[in-house]
Amino acid sequence: MALREQLHRIGLALVLVVGTGTLGVADDKGRADEHGRVQQVVVLDNCDPATFNEAAGPGTCLNVTGPQGVAFPAFLAALPAGHPQWLFYPATLRIKRGDTVRAVNQGGEIHTFTEVEEFGGGFVPPLNDPPNAPAVLECADGHANISVASTRLIQGSSLLVTDLPKGVHRFECCIHPWMRMEIEVK
Ligand SMILES: [Cu+2]
């Protein structure tokens, strides 16, 4: 996607959020005034706070999972394919032109919800498949890249994706690149 188009989309999202203050609140039929439906994507992980924060630093994992959490060694053992409890749900979504997608981070870690031309590596080389594979263009350079910085989801936060053109759009977490989904716009 062209940078200009991305900036345009980010600008639109900001205008809608700041300008109307209502977009994120759908009515009981799932409608948002004048902007179609709001469809939700849940961003999930199951990190175990004790082992993740010890290995990767305080605040890495803010989950309250208790004993069902995935311990850091088990997370590492699932690489390079990646642990299946780190995911976007649903994996595919069909929406209509004008609908808004809201991605909500209900996991314990920071994620990104980044549109990519093709799925591929993220900006944390050991988490790629194969390990150390190059990051895709949209994920390269991590938070220094506007397409990453503008799609970052800290714990408990959400992101609105508006104005998606017709066609199939791919979204990936630039930190955990096996977290992927497709949105088809009719
Ligand atoms: Cu992630």
Residue 7 has pLDDT above 80, yes or no: no
Distance (Å) from CA 14 to ligand 1 centroid: 23
- Name the phi and psi angles at 132, rounded to 5: 70, 10
The answer to whether 152 and 144 are in contact (CB under 8 A) is no
Q: Using CA atoms, how far apart are residues 124 and 53, in angstroms rounded to an integer?
A: 17
Q: Using CA atoms, how far apart are residues 128 and 78, in angstroms rounded to an integer?
A: 12
pLDDT of 145-181, one tens digit each? 999 999 999 999 999 999 999 999 999 999 999 999 9
By percentage, how much of the chain surpasses pLDDT 70? Answer: 81
Distance (Å) from CA 2 to ligand 1 centroid: 24
Distance (Å) from CA 107 to ligand 1 centroid: 9
- 3-state DSSP helix/strand/coil % of the chain, to nearest 5: 25, 25, 50
Q: Looking at the whole model, is its pTM more than 0.95?
A: no
Distance (Å) from CA 28 to ligand 1 centroid: 30
Distance (Å) from CA 130 to ligand 1 centroid: 17
Residue 24 has pLDDT above 70, yes or no: no
The answer to whether 184 and 96 are in contact (CB under 8 A) is no
Coil, helix or strand at residue 141: coil
Distance (Å) from CA 43 to ligand 1 centroid: 8
Distance (Å) from CA 109 to ligand 1 centroid: 7
pLDDT of 45-89, one tens digit each? 999 999 999 999 999 999 887 778 999 999 999 999 999 999 999
The answer to whether 160 and 68 are in contact (CB under 8 A) is no
> Which of 183, 175, 122 lies closest to 153 in space, CA to CA?
175
Distance (Å) from CA 80 to ligand 1 centroid: 14
Q: What's the confidence (pLDDT) of residue 36?
A: 86
Residue 30 has pLDDT above 60, yes or no: no
Distance (Å) from CA 86 to ligand 1 centroid: 7
